[in-house]
């Protein structure tokens, strides 16, 4: 009987630890389920809000035309000047 009582005393902390672990897992599952449901509900609400909104496109007659001058596309700095500036900054970084 004494040996059996010692086994029970030895197993009791393990039982309590197992019960605590099971309760923690149950709580974790509940929290994760609530979190996932809330995230899914937020995604559904956002999708519904996006569907309900309409894209407002301005009237094409009111948009001014885009004027592109070819002169604006030419570089303002010559190649030699650019190379000199590049070398200068590379020397500063070293």
**Average pLDDT for 25-43:** 91
pLDDT in tens, 42-70: 887 776 666 666 777 778 888 777 776 66
Q: CA-to-CA distance for 21 and 30, rounded, in angstroms?
A: 14
Dmax over CA atoms of the chain, in Å, equals 104
- Whole-angstrom distance, CA of residue 51 vs CA of residue 54: 8
**Would the pLDDT of 33 be above 80?**
yes
Domain boundaries, the chain: 2-54+67-93
pTM score, whole prediction:
0.42
Per the rule left: phi > 0, alpha: psi between -120 and 50, beta: everything else, 65 is beta
């Amino acid at each position: 009987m004494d040996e059996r009582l010692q086994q029970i005393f030895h197993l009791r902390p393990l039982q309590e630890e197992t019960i605590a672990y099971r309760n923690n897992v149950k709580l974790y599952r509940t929290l994760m389920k609530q979190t996932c449901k809330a995230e899914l509900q937020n995604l559904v609400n956002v999708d519904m809000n996006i569907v309900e909104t309409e894209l407002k496109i301005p009237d094409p007659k009111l948009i001014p035309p885009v004027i592109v001058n070819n002169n604006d596309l030419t570089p303002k700095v010559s190649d030699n000047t650019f190379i000199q500036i590049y070398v200068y900054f590379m020397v500063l970084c070293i």
